[in-house]
Amino acid sequence: MKVPALIMAGGKGKRMGLAIEKPLLPFLGKPLIDRVVEAVESSKKISEFYIVTSESTPQTEEKCLKESLKIIRTAGKGYHEDLKQAILKAQLDCPVLIIPADLPAITGKFLDKVVKAYEVCGKDALAVFVPIRTREELELSISSTDFHEGLLYAVSGVNIINGAKIDEAKIPTRAIITEDIEVLLNVNTLKDLDVAEKIMRKSKN
C-alpha cells in the first residue's frame, strides 16, 4: 500500500515571534521544510506528496515551486480547515498521510511504519500521539492535545485520514502512542528549537 502525503506548511508560526516563515526556519543549518521533504522523498510508502501553503507562507511556496514541488494553496483559516481544503482540492478520496513541516527528526522509515500500522488498524484514521509527560520532561511546549481512551496526549501532527471521509464530523480513529524522537521533537517556540537542536546533536554523537 502506498499513500499520497500532505506536508502542512501554511501556518503563521506566531509563537516563534520571528520575521522568517516557520517552515524556512534553519534547524542545524537546514530549513525545517527541507528536512521533512527529504524524509517524505525517502519513504517507500508514499506515492506522491504536496506542500500545503497559505497566504501566510508565500516565501515557502516560492521556494518549493522553484524546486518543482507540487503546491496546494489553501485559505489559511486553520490547520484542520486547510487540511480539509487541501484534500478536496487534490481530490484525494483515499488514505492520505499528513505531516507538519515542523518535525526536524522525522524520517522516511518512521513514516513507512505509520502507513503499515494504518494498513492493519481497521479504521478510517490513524493518529500519532506523544505522552505529555515526555515533552514536559524535555521542557518542550505542548501546542495541541487530544484525548485517546480517556487519556490526554500531545498531538504530533502525523496522521492518516481516509480522504473519502473528510466531510464526516467524527472519523473513527486508532492511535499510535510513542516517545520516538521522530515525532517527539516538533518546533513551536524558540525554546523548542534550542532543545531539539541539542537533542539532535547528541543523537548524532
On whether the CB atoms of residues 148 and 71 are closer than 8 A, the answer is no
On whether the CB atoms of residues 149 and 155 are closer than 8 A, the answer is no
Per-residue pLDDT tens for 140-187?
999 889 998 899 999 999 999 999 999 888 888 999 999 999 999 999
Counting Cα atoms < 13 Å in the Cβ hemisphere of 106 gives 33
pLDDT of residue 76: 86
Per-residue pLDDT tens for 9-39?
987 666 666 778 999 999 999 999 999 999 9
CA dihedral defined by 72, 123, 38, 77, rounded to 10 degrees?
30
For the domain 3-204, what is the CATH superfamily, name and number?
Spore Coat Polysaccharide Biosynthesis Protein SpsA; Chain A (3.90.550.10)
pLDDT of residue 194: 94
pLDDT of residue 31: 96
DSSP string spanning 160-198? EEEGGGTTSS---EEEEE---HHHH---SSHHHHHHHHH
Average pLDDT over residues 89-100: 96
Q: Cell for 191? A: 525554546
d(CA 204, CA 168): 43
CA dihedral defined by 78, 79, 80, 85, rounded to 10 degrees?
80
Is pLDDT above 90 for 48?
Answer: yes
